[in-house]
Amino acid sequence: MSTSTLTYVYGVTWASAQVPDDLDVVEHGALAALTLPVDRRQLRARRRDLLHHADVVQRVFERAPVLPFQFGIVVDDVVEDVLAPRQDELVRLLEELDGLVELTVRASYREDDVLRALLAEQPQLVQLRERGSPIQLGEAVARALAARRDADAHAIVGALQSVARTSAVDELRTELDVFRGAFLVERKRVKRFDGELERLARAHAATTSFKLTGPIPPHHFVRLSEAA
């Protein structure tokens, strides 16, 4: 291989999988890596590249189990650097994740609606708004919002976890975020998961908006060891 060229790795699937014809694969034993030759000078992290990475993995996932790698994995030799030294680990993960999908959930408050609910539930906030200082009111609202967020997030995870194998919680990005995370679910239970999420959306409809993405490959749940 030329010293100016690397191989980009999207992920790994079974060598027996039906991979779309326009994708490059490198096989080793029972494994096949989804790859693309790249020039060192062309390595970038543009949005379209991130979307293309996700699209490649998704297309394979619609046909077979796949272990999605994080964006930006490049190696000199796919077999020597990835497939051979990690063969047992990759086979084990493919077997463990077979028949499972990732469903990502985002829940966020609508600002005006949640503030209206807090004022209705806690008369002391109304009193502070009428007679307290803006600083006192702001601090009290922040505490009330945090307490409500914790309770709502706990309820969301508890309900959805009941129909999932496991979950992964992402960091919240704004004060209006309630929950961001992913659930690992059996394909045959996706409809049940959808129904549970719809029930939650109805129960929290006065203050909260939900967004569901999936089924997608188990991005949150593929963690390769640092060994090898």
Q: Specify the higher pLDDT residue, 119 or 215.
A: 215
Token pair listed for 190: 């996706």
Q: Answer whether residue 61 shows pLDDT above 60.
A: yes
Mean pLDDT of 44-62: 89
Mean pLDDT of 1-29: 86
CA distances in angstroms from 148 to 18, 114, 121, 188, listed in the order given: 48, 9, 11, 33
Residue 128 pLDDT class (50, 70, 90 cuts) = confident
| Chain segment 137-167, per-residue pLDDT in tens | 788 888 999 999 999 999 999 999 999 999 9
| Chain segment 67-99, per-residue pLDDT in tens | 999 988 899 999 999 999 999 999 999 999 999
Q: Which residues are bridge partners to 109 per DSSP?
A: 208
Residue type, 27: E
Quickly name the fold that domain 101-221 has.
Alpha-Beta Plaits (3.30.70)
Q: What's this model's pTM, rounded to 2 decimal places?
A: 0.87
Q: Which residues are bridge partners to 216 per DSSP?
A: 102
Neighbours of 187 (CB within 10 A): 11
For the chain, residues classed under CATH 3.30.70 are: 101-221
Q: Answer whether residue 1 shows pLDDT above 50.
A: no
